[in-house]
Chain A
Amino acid sequence: MTSLTNLPVGITAKVISVNGNNAISKRLMEMGVVPGVSVRVVKSAPFGDPLEIRVRGYHLAMRKNEADAIEVTDSE
């Protein structure tokens, strides 16, 4: 178990939980990042942040501090 931020680029993992009860966790979940879904970090932006992740067949950009709230399995 690790946070999405620490998931190496290109590795697919499953979301375990989306922590925090706030606007960020709500928006992440609305966008489909809910427990059980597969995610993959595609790349990070030029200055290392934000991250581009792939979830439910589309691409989503989020900052590292937001990705920190997403607990994922080490790999699928």
Chain B
Amino acid sequence: MKTISRTLTSEPLKAEKTNKYSAHPASQFTIALAGNPNAGKTTLFNALTGMRQKVGNYPGVTVERKEGLWRFVGGRNNARLIDLPGLYSLDATSLDEQIARDVLMGKLASAPKPDVIVAVVDATNLERNLYLVTQLLEYKIPLVIALTMVDVAEKQSLAIDTKKLSELLQVPVVEVRAAQKKGIEELAEQVFQATQNKNSKYNGWFSEANPADESFIHLSLQSDNEINKQIFARYNFISDVYQESVKAKQTEERGFSEKIDRVLTHKFFGLVILIAVLLLVFQTIFSWANLPMDLLEQGFGALGDFVRAELPEGILTDLLIDGVIAGVGGVLVFLPQILLLFFFLSILEDTGYMARAAFLLDRLMRGVGLHGKAFLPLLSSFACAIPGIMATRTIESPKDRIATIMIAPFMSCSARLPVYTLMIATFFTGQTIFGFISVGAVLILGMYALGTIVAIIVGWILKRTLLKAPPPPFVMELPPYRMPNFKAVFLNVFQQAEMFLKRAGTVILAISIILWALAYFPKTTSQQSAVNNPQAEFNNEQTTVDSSQPAIDDSGAQLRNSYAGQLGQLIEPVIAPLGFDWKIGVALIASFAAREVLVSTLSIIYNVGKDETEESQTLMQAVRDAKREDGTPAWTPLTALTLMVFFVLAIQCMSTVAVTRRETNSWAWAIFMVAYMTILAYVAALITYQGGRLLGFG
């Protein structure tokens, strides 16, 4: 139980080199915002900071770090508001708790010890929320309680005497309704008062040892029985406080949420609805996203044409159009899908449904040997394995955590959608089963199912071999259902999209340019091309060829002789049994950087030597028109399907490998992940292609 998670972090938390969170010049105070999950902490944080937020990670670890600037008491004071991770306890058994402790003790170089703690306490769940408060009080930092959900508590006939509560806890208690901006000013006033009063009135209730000093580590190494006694003592104190400060007895029925749960966690309907919700999410992201995608695609096409028309010919223009605009555009075009998926995930999380899904699925997850909590990271991995792998931090058992990390990349992430979309749109557009079910939707669903099923099998095997361990604890709150705060949802979606774009804008742009260069150099002269490829005229991929640019007259020869072509040809014998030619090989190599790079690579490969006056040719048409040496089409629907299967299972994402290395603190696990996923993908693709051929397809 002692700091398990320490073993999973790569660097000590204190090892900070850069300090990008340097204080706002006018920040006088540092304030920590602490509270249970679902207590309304995020809503309050948003209300206090507005858009003045920075999202990132704590150094050396990947716990999300949120910080904002709070202008309070008429804007006269500025404070850095540090949003601690949602916590039930501060005993440092999980990494989140460890980080929160380090912040409160001023151990992080990037943030001074907080001047004040604002503890967010949910009035409808006072006792359990106060547990954390009893621990926070021991840090001897002035504390102000922000009491949330008071209106909801009143509806449940819970009347909380905040004055009494404040008296008993000896800290100010302020009722806030962050969404309506009520109580914010009083909270600010109390926080300001607290900053003027450096000594908390804390006088040591629970233990002779002070948990906030270094000896606390020893305390957590004491016999567990002692700890249980301490927890018991805290709750006894809380019960007394509760008895005195809450006037009306809480009604037994929780009413609303429990009524909803009669359906949503029903033995039969609960599962039906869960499946329906997931189906709805995927169907809508796939169809709704089409309009903005088309617009973006046309926009980037027009931009390329415009730049081509305005700029003089030359390497720089080619770089700008074929490297930069084509590469970035090919990724940005899929942003609508990513936004929609994160939108749905945020709503599922905020409404409280995500916990129900874990509840419904825990028995199944345990069949795999995983915690129901693994469901959330795995579901998040459907958007992106990076946040998914980060979200495994909530899993306390290291072995379970590693098992979850190992299978998370099988979840079909949003970066695979560009690949699926391109394949389906190119080869399966308009096709239906029974006249109304689109083949594309069925294939997408099939890809999601394939990844999930393989994940289950691999998880099952890992948990019985390399990661054998007793079943982990499953103790999880089922928070009351709440209307999602759309402001918070959009802010979250925006922040996630920003992070995706940063990745797309830096890593992907860099790779696009490198790839463009790999395909552009060395330049092949027409003489060379004629020598190297006497049949060039007959197997040119391009529909029209421009004779004004002799250097790239024959794009086939240009690409074949380029560095990229040489690499692709090198691996061609290996991928030939999968039905892939060397150009697809180039794309496979390039897309190890990130799956979506496949799209920009293909667009660069198939557009090399593109005529400047030619009508902008869409990637899909280029894929359909692509020919092999012998003149047969490079792609068939079976090739497309094989590629999709390969992409479901192959790791094809250097960021995932990097995060895995960081989260497991082991190159061995990262390399293991790359190796087993690549082998699995190869075998599955081989079976798909050769099996498909035996059945007479392709």
Contact = CB atoms under 8 A, between A and B. Distances in A.
Size class of the A contact interface (CB-based, 8 Å) = 35 or more
Contacts of B223: 21
A40 B250 CA distance: 14
A23 B396 contact: yes
Contact of B125 (A28, A37, A56, A65): A56
Nearest to B271: A46
Given A26-B228, A34-B231, A57 B89 contact: no
B227 interface: yes
A26 to B, nearest CB: 6
A27 B472 CA distance: 12
A47 B140 CA distance: 47
A18 interface: yes
Contacts of A47: 363-364
A46 B360 contact: yes
B473 A30 contact: no
Contacts of A24: 473, 475
Interface in B225-278: 225, 227-228, 231-232, 235, 239, 250, 252, 254, 257-258, 261, 265-268, 270-271
Given A34-B231, A46-B270, A56-B127, A62 B364 contact: no
B131 interface: yes
A63 B359 contact: no
B475 A60 contact: yes
Contacts of A63: 362, 366, 471, 473-474
A61 B478 contact: yes
A31 B478 contact: no
Contacts of A26: 1, 91, 93, 224, 227-228, 231
Interface residues of B, number: 51
B418 interface: no
A23 B478 contact: no
Nearest to A20: B224
Chain A, interface SS category: mixed
A32 B372 contact: no
Interface in A41-62: 42-43, 45-50, 52, 54, 56-62
Given A57-B127, A62-B474, A66-B474, A23 B228 contact: no
Contacts of B474: 50, 61-63, 66
A71 B503 CA distance: 52
Interface string A1-38: 00000000000100000100111111111111011110
Contacts of B265: 43, 45-46, 52
B6 interface: no
A26 B131 CA distance: 13
Given A46-B268, A49-B362, A61-B359, A34 B235 contact: yes
A62 B231 CA distance: 19
A62 B225 contact: no
A58 B270 contact: no
Contacts of B65: none
Contacts of A37: 235
A67 to B, nearest CB: 10
B211 to A, nearest CB: 14
B224 A57 contact: no
Nearest to B246: A57
Given A30-B91, A45-B363, A46-B363, A57 B471 contact: no
Nearest to B232: A34
Contacts of A50: 359, 362-363, 372, 474
Contacts of B124: 57-58
A25 B223 CA distance: 13
B88 interface: yes
Given A45-B360, A49-B362, A58 B131 contact: no
Contacts, number: 133
B399 to A, nearest CB: 13
A29 B362 contact: no
B476 interface: yes
B88 A31 contact: yes
B401 to A, nearest CB: 14
A52 B257 CA distance: 13
B311 to A, nearest CB: 61
Given A31-B477, A61-B475, A66-B474, A25 B363 contact: no
A67 B70 CA distance: 44
Nearest to A37: B235
B640 interface: no
B355 interface: yes
A61 to B, nearest CB: 5
A27 B473 contact: yes
B477 A59 contact: yes
Contacts of A62: 474-476
Interface string B5-32: 0000000000000000000000000000
Contact of B250 (A22, A23, A48, A57): A57
A25 B477 CA distance: 15
Contacts of B127: 32, 56-57
Interface string B96-124: 00000000000000000000000000001
A56 B127 CA distance: 7
Nearest to A51: B359
B227 A57 contact: no
Contacts of B89: 30
B151 to A, nearest CB: 16
Given A21-B225, A21-B228, A32-B128, 6 more contacts: A26-B1, A32-B131, A47-B364, A56-B125, A59-B257, A63-B473
Interface of B: 1, 88-89, 91, 93, 124-128, 131, 223-225, 227-228, 231-232, 235, 239, 250, 252, 254, 257-258, 261, 265-268, 270-271, 355, 358-360, 362-364, 366, 372, 396, 471, 473-480
User: Lowest 5 CB-CB distances: which A-B pairs, in order?
Assistant: A47-B363, A21-B224, A59-B478, A24-B473, A29-B231
29 contacts: A12-B252, A18-B228, A21-B225, A23-B93, A23-B473, A24-B475, A26-B228, A30-B131, A31-B475, A43-B265, A45-B362, A47-B363, A47-B364, A50-B362, A52-B359, A54-B254, A56-B128, A57-B127, A57-B254, A58-B480, A59-B257, A59-B479, A60-B477, A61-B359, A61-B372, A61-B474, A63-B362, A63-B366, A63-B474
